[in-house]
Amino acid sequence: MSQTTERILVAESVSRKFLVRQGLFAKKKTLTAVDAASFFLKKGECLGLVGESGCGKSTLGRLSCGLLQPTQGSILFCGTPLPPAGAGSWARGRIQMIFQDPFSSLNPRMTVQDAVAEPLTARGIPRAERIQAAEDMLARVGLKGTGKRYPHEFSGGQRQRIAIARSVMTHPDIIICDEAVSALDASVQAQILNLLKDMQEEFSPAYLFISHDLNIVGFMCQRILVMYLGRLLEEGPTEELFRHPAHPYTEALLAARNGLDASHPPLTGEIPSPLDPPAGCAFHPRCPYRKPLCEETMPPWTELSPGWRVRCHVAQQRVSCSQRSG
């Protein structure tokens, strides 16, 4: 894989707020879906973004491709502020997105060859060439000779192959995969994940891989961001996070995969409302390690080693203990 250290996407203290009304006559309240998130994506890497459903992962994914604009902060793509996604955007075709449900993003009245060829339209390529390129790409994803069929004639896994074929047509720099395999059976999931890896080998896009499933993220990604209630809490290399999770929330997510792991405390309680987030550390109502300080003061970022950082008042001691005990 042609992975370099070049940062092609840099998010700096990005927040996204929405005004929401919880009842017909209720006053509007501010919901902070993403709160001061800073991260970067390197050329050709696969960066995982994990957290429970509703934590702001998808909003951060949409911010990262220009489908949403930040309320505060900035997102730089190749060093330049990312413009809103759309027909006139200079970044069009350079950042693509694959969604959980490809059926909703494919036009039911368009043949799949037209759907796959569509991202090339803005480049002024003649239709016959676009269609040939789409047929070639469909063959690459295992759907040779199916171009004249319509989306409803395919299974969920096949539709996700079509979405992948469409996403790589413009040889994008970045593909944002938002729960791209969550709706598929385990055996089909494995095929699609391997196809995404093959496409990365061939076309070298960086992936921002959004998922609630740590097994999948562990298989796909070199680095991981952990998100909770709109905030990033831990960022680091996959191997380090899996061996010595520094944040209690990361530890709880790891414990929950493949059933409960008795060596880690399980995750209990409900995720608080983002309309009324807890003071201090947002995770404190569910944290088995909380101290009085955690209820008042939001922990700052602590760097544990180059590229590995965490927001927790006790993480450093916990990681040191965990590393000493092997």
Among 54, 257, 289, 302, binds ligand SF4 (CB under 6 A): 289
- Closer residue to ligand SF4 (CB): 309 or 313: 313
Identify the bridge partners of residue 305 per DSSP, sorted by sequence position: 308
Contact with ligand SF4 (CB under 6 A): which of 82, 287, 304, 319?
287
Using CB under 6 A as the binding rule, whether residue 57 contacts ligand SF4 is answered as no
Residue 153: other Cβ atoms inside 10 A = 12
| 313 binding ligand SF4? (CB under 6 A) | yes
Residue 212 or 313: the one with the smaller Cβ distance to ligand SF4 is: 313
Q: Which residue has 């047509």 as its token pair?
A: 169
Is 312 a binding residue for ligand SF4 by CB under 6 A? The answer is yes
Does residue 290 touch ligand SF4 according to CB under 6 A?
A: yes
Q: Quote the CA–CA distance of 104 and 256 in Å, as a whole number.
A: 31
Q: Is 231 in the site for ligand SF4 (CB under 6 A)?
A: no
By CB under 6 A, residue 314 contacts ligand SF4: yes
Q: Does residue number 39 form part of the binding site for ligand SF4 (CB under 6 A)? A: no
Instruction: Choose one: 32-40, 100-108, 117-125, 281-289; the region binding ligand SF4 (CB under 6 A).
Output: 281-289
What is d(CA 299, CA 280) in angstroms, rounded to the nearest whole number? 7
44 burial level (CB within 10 Å; 0-12, 13-18, 19+): buried
For the chain, what's the residue count? 326
- Based on the shown chain and the rule CB under 6 A, indicate whether residue 62 belongs to the binding site for ligand SF4: no
CA distances from 203 to 45, 165, 228, 280, 293 (A): 12, 11, 32, 43, 48
Least separation in angstroms between residue 290's CB and ligand SF4 is 4
Contacts of residue 44, Cβ cutoff 8 Å, sequence gap at least 6: 1, 2, 3, 4, 200, 204, 205, 206
- The encoded tokens of residue 8 equal 């092609």
| 281 is an interface residue for ligand SF4 by CB under 6 A | yes
Phi, psi of 309, rounded to the nearest 5 degrees: -140, 160
Q: Residue 216 or 312: which CB sits closer to ligand SF4? A: 312
DSSP-assigned beta bridge partners for residue 310: 234, 302
Site map (CB under 6 A) of ligand SF4, residues 245-264, x = contact: --xx----------------
Q: Is 309 in the site for ligand SF4 (CB under 6 A)?
A: no
Per CB under 6 A, residues contacting ligand SF4 are: 247-248, 281, 283-284, 287, 289-291, 294, 299, 312-314
